[in-house]
Amino acid sequence: MSDDSKRFGATTPGKRFMKLAGMSASIAGNFAKNRVKGMIGTLTEEERLKEREQLFMQVGEQIANTLGEMKGAVMKVGQIASQFKDVFPKEIADALVKLQQESPPMPFGVIEQQIMRELGKPAAEIFAEIDSKPFAAASIGQVHRARTLEGDDVVVKVQYPGVDTCVESDLKHLRLALKLAGVLRVDKAMLDEVFGEIRRSLHDELDYEQEAENIRVFSAFHASDPKIIVPRVFERYTSKRVLTMAYEPGDHISKVSAPRYTQDVVNELGHRLFDAIGAQIFELHAVHCDPHPGNFAFRPDGSMVIYDYGCIKKIKPEIVESFRKTTSASIAKDFHALEKALIEMGVRNTNNAPHITPDFYEPWTHLIMKAFSEQPYDFGGSRLHEEVVTRARKSLSYWDAFQPSADTMLVNRAIGGHYWTMKELGVNTAFRDALIRNIEPKSGN
């Protein structure tokens, strides 16, 4: 394997294991010191909580730094984990958010070799031109602008060499490292389901031919709305590890601002995103599950470009129905129906708490439904995320009554991620009618 490949973390499973094992040993040592300090009994309860918070922050930084250096599947798991505060302590999940940032690029020589291996010809013979500087770089691959010999402007997504061969060992060793470190908060059976879902998601993301098929499916599904743009695939220049798509430009979310974008256009974009995700969940039964801001671009005419179809979650019909029931029950404030639907969804752990009274659900539904009332909601000025944290602290006694569900965690990742999209866009409009329209059963569903 080349020095360039080693430099970017595509090393042998054994070397990657040693790096993860070193991380877990260090973390386990820090936890042991913390336990000893707590056993001495000189700390007040407030001091113990502060010590715990600082410890988890340090552990989160250590995990994020280690995974960030390694690239590949293990870094991708870290990115996914940053969305799952049910699995990790909040401080650790927060630290892992840094893995969502763009990664250092792989040298172009490595990219050229991968194109040669996958497409059978040098890049110079396939493309009239290809930019050696990446358009974007992520944990498992990077994207380059190019022009085909026929004159089409395209982007070429190239997977880093060796990433797919390390998936199973990376997942196994990361799970072991986190277990030894004592930072996982779910039981073994649930952890098996969570990591199983992560494994399936990773294998899908590493298969660019599967992603090409996903693009075809979503393009056909959204064809009725010309303002939802799905880049088309160039089959001749696509393989399992190289994916070539039409170049569809748009403004990054950070560029969506006045005077180029009026509030009316921003609100239109908010509704377009809301309806697109809602339709995917309730009609297509498959949802784009990577809400990273770089995967969406916007245009002043109200159009939205959706990129990256590697992380697609197919949703079981019964889980779709549970989402429908929980939403309807929340709107109607029918807390008994809400409890029943959450149990059906697998989110409620009735073993730890057989019954929950309606007074627990009332403040939660009131809080969440504020964003979906008949009145316009100002996402730009929203403090909903802070209110959720405050409410969660008041609900600690119910912590064991809920658990992450492998069937819903990627869907929740998408929904939760788009709250931040709405907030950064500055959407200020009412969504109650759109919510009701989205959850209404359609013919054929």
If asked whether residues 259 and 342 sit together in one domain, one would say: yes
Q: Answer yes or no: is pLDDT of 360 > 50.
A: yes
If asked whether residues 409 and 344 sit together in one domain, one would say: yes
Q: Answer yes or no: is pLDDT of 445 > 80.
A: no
Q: Which residues contact 300 (CB under 8 A, 6 or more apart)?
A: 251, 260, 261, 265
If asked whether residues 134 and 41 sit together in one domain, one would say: no
Q: Answer yes or no: is pLDDT of 286 > 60.
A: yes
HSE at residue 11, side-chain half, CA atoms within 13 A, is: 14
Mean pLDDT of 131-140: 87
296-318: burial string, b at 16+ Cβ within 10 Å, e else: bbbbeebbbbbbbbbbbbebeee
- What pLDDT score was predicted for residue 98? 67
User: pLDDT band at 58, cuts 50/70/90?
Assistant: confident
Higher pLDDT, 105 or 77: 105
Highest mean pLDDT among 67-81, 163-177, 403-417: 403-417
Higher pLDDT, 321 or 76: 321
Q: Locate 89 and state its tokens.
A: 């302590």
| Residue 126 DSSP SS3 | helix
Domain extent, residue 8, equals 3-100+168-183
If asked whether residues 144 and 118 sit together in one domain, one would say: yes
Mean pLDDT of 365-385: 95
**Least confident among 100-114, 248-262, 322-336:** 100-114
Does any domain span residue 361?
Answer: yes
- What pLDDT score was predicted for residue 354? 86
| Interval 393-414: pLDDT, tens | 888 788 888 887 889 988 988 9
Does any domain span residue 195?
Answer: no
Q: In this structure, which amino acid lies at residue 396?
A: L
If asked whether residues 243 and 259 sit together in one domain, one would say: no
d(CA 207, CA 309): 11
| Residue 192 DSSP SS3 | helix
Say how many Å lie between the first and final Cα of the chain, rounded. 50
If asked whether residues 283 and 368 sit together in one domain, one would say: yes
Comparing CA positions, the residue from 312, 311, 324 lying closest to residue 283 is 324
Domain holding 112: CATH number? Answer: 3.30.200.20
If asked whether residues 80 and 140 sit together in one domain, one would say: no
Mean pLDDT of 344-360: 89
Tokens 């089959």, located at residue: 235
Query: Number of folded domains in the chain?
Result: 3
Higher pLDDT, 180 or 26: 26
| Interval 176-208: pLDDT, tens | 766 766 666 666 777 787 778 878 888 888 999
User: pLDDT band at 162, cuts 50/70/90?
Assistant: confident
Mean pLDDT of 32-42: 65
Q: Answer yes or no: is pLDDT of 8 > 50.
A: no
Mean pLDDT of 339-361: 90
Instruction: Please state, rounded to an integer, the average pLDDT across all residues of the chain.
Output: 86
Q: Answer yes or no: is pLDDT of 100 > 80.
A: no
Q: Locate 157 and state its tokens.
A: 């997504």
Phi, psi of 316 (to 5 degrees): -65, 145
Comparing CA positions, the residue from 118, 157, 154, 122 lying closest to residue 137 is 157
- What pLDDT score was predicted for residue 5? 43
User: pLDDT band at 72, cuts 50/70/90?
Assistant: low
Q: Answer yes or no: is pLDDT of 1 > 70.
A: no
Tokens 């909040």, located at residue: 90
Q: Answer yes or no: is pLDDT of 79 > 80.
A: no
**Least confident among 81-95, 142-156, 158-172, 230-244:** 81-95
d(CA 246, CA 320): 32
Does any domain span residue 146?
Answer: yes
Comparing CA positions, the residue from 439, 364, 433 lying closest to residue 398 is 364
Q: Which residues contact 226 (CB under 8 A, 6 or more apart)?
A: 303
| Interval 317-328: pLDDT, tens | 999 999 999 999
Mean pLDDT of 23-43: 70
Q: Answer yes or no: is pLDDT of 64 > 80.
A: no
Higher pLDDT, 137 or 344: 344
- What pLDDT score was predicted for residue 12? 63
Q: Which residues contact 14 (CB under 8 A, 6 or more apart)?
A: none
Q: Answer yes or no: is pLDDT of 13 > 70.
A: no
Distances (CA, A) of 404 to 86, 176, 189, 214, 401: 6, 19, 11, 26, 11
If asked whether residues 322 and 234 sit together in one domain, one would say: no
The helix (run of H) or strand (run of E) holding residue 143 is strand 141-148
If asked whether residues 349 and 405 sit together in one domain, one would say: yes
- What pLDDT score was predicted for residue 4? 42
HSE at residue 245, side-chain half, CA atoms within 13 A, is: 25
User: pLDDT band at 267, cuts 50/70/90?
Assistant: very high
Q: Which residues contact 187 (CB under 8 A, 6 or more apart)?
A: none
If asked whether residues 378 and 408 sit together in one domain, one would say: yes
If asked whether residues 92 and 179 sit together in one domain, one would say: yes
